[in-house]
Amino acid sequence: MRRLGAHLYQLVQAYAALGDHRTGTSVDQATLAWFTTELSKRGARVDNIPYQFERYVASCRLTANATDVEALPLYYEAVGTVHSSRLQVAELAFDANLDAPQLDEVIACARMSGADAAILATTGAGGYLVALNRAPVLGSGFPIMLVPGSALPLLRQAALHLDLNARLEPSASATVIGHLGPGDTAPPVVVTTPLSGWFRCAGERGTGIAIALQLATDLAERWPVMVVGTTGHELHYLGLQRFLAAHALHPAAVIFLGASVATTTLGPESGSTFAAFRQALTTAGEGLAQRLEKVLAPARFPVRSNPAQWLGEGEAWVRLRTPLLSLTNRFPLFHTADDLPAHATSPEQLAVTHTAVNRAAQLFLEESLRN
């Protein structure tokens, strides 16, 4: 168990060390190459399937009393140049699910303020700057900057200035496909996880990637496995949407490892504890779902059978109408720059989660693939 945890943690570290994992960037290309290499090391036959899109590219500097403030443009909301101190400061509140349901309303109010751009402080998320997933199409045309919620008191009093240059440019990324296990005649089991996100994404993406690589290797001892690593997650699952639109897949089953599957919150008073908001969703009936929940208990994943709403890329995979087991989670560093290995996970967390997920996957496939 200790060796397994150390190995998985090294994979998370290697992934996070590549940089901010935004789709279409040089870091994205390095990530695709790294993931391809990791699959090849495990004996997989690997293909990269490219796709094109328009990437949002921006440079910005926000100052408060001439001091730099951490800031991130709201991607695709506007293009062009801003050099202005006429800025509207507002609060963008996140709810318990780390969603910002008032975003459109806040943007509409900011547009009517007479300012040249809006500065939105992301509150309700521990004071962090929280990035928002975006569809890769132009929005209102009004420039929006996201800043940490902790900066809001300063920004309401300080002299502010913004320099922003944003544009769209042609770009490309790819979906990575790896085949493992016996033969090509039987429909494969798909093991899939996203590869991209806003920042280093150690917990959000790295933990799922590490477990997916190990799980695929384990399952390939019994079944043919197709690993599907997708990009464009932060662009409303762009890579997966393009891949499924262009390829008629008929897998035997799908196991989706979504966000933050093996994350932990490190606190001085409680040490390493499991994060909240874990969910395992499945197309299996209630009986099998209850058995899966018992197997997943060490990783604290409650299991729901045939939910009305699926999470993450599970929304797309469930449309294949094949047996699906989906695991997702959110944690306090979700979509923040502080989602780093030492903050987000641990070898012990990874080992416990992988062991439970592996057992659940084996049970799920045994029951779902009975002739």
Give dist(CA 35, CA 199) in Å, integer: 17
**Distances, alpha carbon 165 to alpha carbons 82, 162, 306, in Å:** 7, 10, 45
Give the CATH class of 2-55+171-368: alpha beta
Give dist(CA 348, CA 298) in Å, integer: 12
User: So what's the pLDDT on residue 114?
Assistant: 93
Residue 282 backbone class (left: φ over 0; alpha: ψ -120 to 50; beta: rest): beta
Whether 212 and 191 have beta carbons less than 8 Å apart is answered as yes
For residue 90, what are its two tokens? 């507002």
Give dist(CA 242, CA 236) in Å, integer: 11
Residue 170 backbone class (left: φ over 0; alpha: ψ -120 to 50; beta: rest): beta
- The architecture CATH gives domain 58-169: 3-Layer(bba) Sandwich (3.50)
User: So what's the pLDDT on residue 275?
Assistant: 46
User: So what's the pLDDT on residue 224?
Assistant: 97
User: So what's the pLDDT on residue 216?
Assistant: 99
158 alpha carbon, distance to own chain's centre:
34
Among the listed residues 250, 243, 251, the one whose alpha carbon sits nearest the alpha carbon of residue 188:
251
Among the listed residues 234, 227, 279, the one whose alpha carbon sits nearest the alpha carbon of residue 255:
227
Residue-wise pLDDT tens for the chain (371 aa)? 789 999 999 999 999 999 999 999 999 999 999 999 999 999 999 999 999 999 999 999 999 999 999 999 999 999 999 999 999 999 999 877 677 889 999 999 999 999 999 999 999 888 999 999 999 999 999 999 999 999 999 999 999 999 999 999 999 999 999 999 987 678 999 999 999 999 999 999 999 999 999 999 999 999 999 999 999 999 999 999 999 999 999 999 999 999 999 998 655 433 333 446 899 999 999 999 999 999 999 999 999 999 999 999 999 999 999 999 999 998 889 899 999 999 999 999 999 999 999 999 999 999 999 85
**Distances, alpha carbon 143 to alpha carbons 82, 134, 163, 308, in Å:** 8, 14, 11, 36
Q: What ranges do the domains of the chain cover? A: 2-55+171-368, 58-169
Residue 175 backbone class (left: φ over 0; alpha: ψ -120 to 50; beta: rest): beta
User: So what's the pLDDT on residue 185?
Assistant: 79
User: So what's the pLDDT on residue 269?
Assistant: 37
Residue-by-residue DSSP string for 108-143 = HHHHTTT-SEEEEEEESSTT--------SS--SS--
**Distances, alpha carbon 310 to alpha carbons 256, 279, 326, in Å:** 11, 10, 8
Those residues with Cβ within 8 angstroms of residue 71's Cβ, 6 or more apart along the chain or in another chain: 60, 61, 62, 119, 129, 145, 146, 147, 162
Q: Which amino acid is at 48?
A: N
